[in-house]
Structure 1
């Protein structure tokens, strides 16, 4: 992989997003239906936060077979919104930033997804999975 190439070459641009006011029930449905692990929280095309599948699981940390816990989790999912658990103040990339910049950000932090923003508008997301996918494509083609 050419780490001097722009992140636009490997980012995901077909985005699934949520609004800050969307219920966590909707967020969980998105994770389950689309088999993704990160969803940007967007208000008027501007990213205001990020939610990972781990964030939702941590919020529901009482996951158990106990029927009381299941009811409690259902109530939580229906009453809390994306803005209640989203991570704010997240790192961002430009589509023109080099992949090497993204690798440094991933190396120095504990998150696995970085929104890609041009002129204040969300245009993509780069995940560690995107990078791994690109690396394995190259190995397969060699």
Structure 2
């Protein structure tokens, strides 16, 4: 295992992002369609937050109401904005920082994804799953 290998080698490079003005319905659809759990939130090209599938689940009713009540979540999604649900000013990592540094951040924090930046632009995302896969292959 190379201790100094950078996160750019394991990050998702074709990272999906959402705009700050997109709806929570759209965010929920992106999660479902792409089988992902985290989305960087951008304003223009600048990172302003991150939203997770867990954030969406916290505000949804899920299976609380049973059949015929699917519209309950959509009503909540229409009442709130991404800005109200996302984590603002998330911790980030630079594309040239090491996998070890990312792993250290994850062990000290209570989240599972780090947007990867080059300057102020999002160029990827690295998750705890990426770190685990890397260490399993080493």
* TM-score computed with the length of structure 1 as normaliser: 0.88
Gaps of 5+ in 1: none
Within 2, Cα distance between the matches of 1:17 and 1:58?
A: 20
Aligned length: 138
Q: Are positions 1:34 and 2:38 aligned together?
A: no
Aligned-pair CA distance for 1:64: 1.7
Task: Give 3-state SS (helix, strand or coil) of 2:101's partner.
Answer: helix
Equivalent residue, structure 1, for 2:87: 87
Within 2, Cα distance between the matches of 1:70 and 1:59?
A: 14
Q: Are positions 1:50 and 2:47 aligned together?
A: no
Which deviations, in whole Å up to 9, do the C-alpha atoms of 1:117-141 show, x marking residues without a partner? 11111111110111122233x26xx
Distance 1:132 1:54, change over 3 A: same
Q: Are positions 1:104 and 2:104 aligned together?
A: yes
Q: Where is the helix percentage greater, Structure 1 or Structure 2?
A: 1
Which deviations, in whole Å up to 9, do the C-alpha atoms of 1:92-136 show, x marking residues without a partner? 111000111111100000100001111111111110111122233
Equivalent residue, structure 1, for 2:60: 60
* TM-score computed with the length of structure 2 as normaliser: 0.90
Within 1, Cα distance between the matches of 2:30 and 2:101?
A: 29
Aligned-pair CA distance for 1:76: 1.3
Aligned-CA RMSD value: 1.8
Equivalent residue, structure 2, for 1:113: 113
1:10 and 1:130 in contact (8 A); partners too: yes
Gaps of 5+ in 2: none
